[in-house]
Structure 1
Amino acid sequence: MNSIALLNDSFRRTFSGGKVMMTIGVAELPDCVKAEALRQVADFSGFTEENDPHGEHDFGSFDLVGRKFFWKIDLYEEPDVKDANGDPVVNRVLTIMLASEY
């Protein structure tokens, strides 16, 4: 498994090391549904060649309360901010959305 997939998996499972965002459609759902959606994202393991062609573990989908949800991890490089090794800092943003909002 490549390093991007490992870092994405770590972030997705712990929600540490990036930002987690929800679209308005998800944010308006009851708290218990949002909590279950987060658990579904953290527990996701259904990566296939079809939904993960680059092997980065950056997208998934699941069904919950009769709705299809998508989640996506995007990487944003901060070219003007360097880490201790002098490399640009990369920020991870995980967005959870209803498929109907895509």
Structure 2
Amino acid sequence: MPVTATSRDETIAILNDRCRLGLDRTARILITRSCLGTFANGSMADGLIAQAQLMAAARRHDFAEADAMVRDRGQFEFRGATVFFKIDYYDLALDYGSENPADAGVTTRVLTIMLREDL
């Protein structure tokens, strides 16, 4: 049975949710230096707390219908600032873009949490 665009998008959305929720052990989750620095208040403890809170906020993100197709990007308010997240698809070595983001066997997902100036 051929793969339709809808079923492919649904598969990508499920894999993206697993990445965002921290269930994909091969995924990478990055928080940009400027984003973390904005909320860390200069101390390591504050940085760790901010990191955990940012990741929790991305996990709780509720997708609107307009951006829910593959659920690879979103934004949320955090401590008075708008924070963005984006999932990119790479090959297993993280050298090139993935040829098939719907195939977890050939794709490493990278979730980046950032501020507008990092876009």
Matched, 1:59 2:73: yes
Map of 1:96 onto structure 2: 113
Percentage of pairs with the same residue: 27
Q: Which moved more, 1:60-69 or 1:38-47?
A: 38-47
Question: Where in structure 1 are there 5+ consecutive unaligned residues?
Answer: 80-86
Map of 1:42 onto structure 2: 59
Tell me the alpha carbon deviations over residues 5-36 of structure 1, each in whole angstroms, 9 at most, x when there is no partner. Answer: 00100111125330011111123232222221
Counterpart Cα distance in 2 of 1:88 and 1:15: 15
Counterpart Cα distance in 2 of 1:96 and 1:8: 14
Instruction: Choose the corresponding residue for 1:7, options 12, 15, 28.
Output: 15
TM-score for both structures, normalised by structure 1? 0.77
Secondary structure, counterpart of 1:94 in structure 2: strand
Kindly report structure 1 stretches of 4+ aligned residues shifted beyond 4 Å: none
Compared with structure 1, are the counterparts of its residues 88 and 34 closer, same or farther at alpha carbon in structure 2 (3 Å cutoff)?
Answer: closer
Instruction: Choose the corresponding residue for 1:22, options 28, 31, 35.
Output: 31
Tell me the alpha carbon deviations over residues 37-95 of structure 1, each in whole angstroms, 9 at most, x when there is no partner. Answer: 1101111122321x34xx1110010011111100000011359xxxxxxx961110000
Q: Which amino acid aligns with 1:93?
A: V
RMSD value over aligned CA atoms? Answer: 2.2
CA contact (8 A) 1:77 1:88 kept: no
Secondary structure, counterpart of 2:63 in structure 1: coil
Q: Which amino acid aligns with 2:80?
A: G
Map of 2:50 onto structure 1: 33
Secondary structure, counterpart of 1:46 in structure 2: coil
Question: How many equivalent residue pairs?
Answer: 92
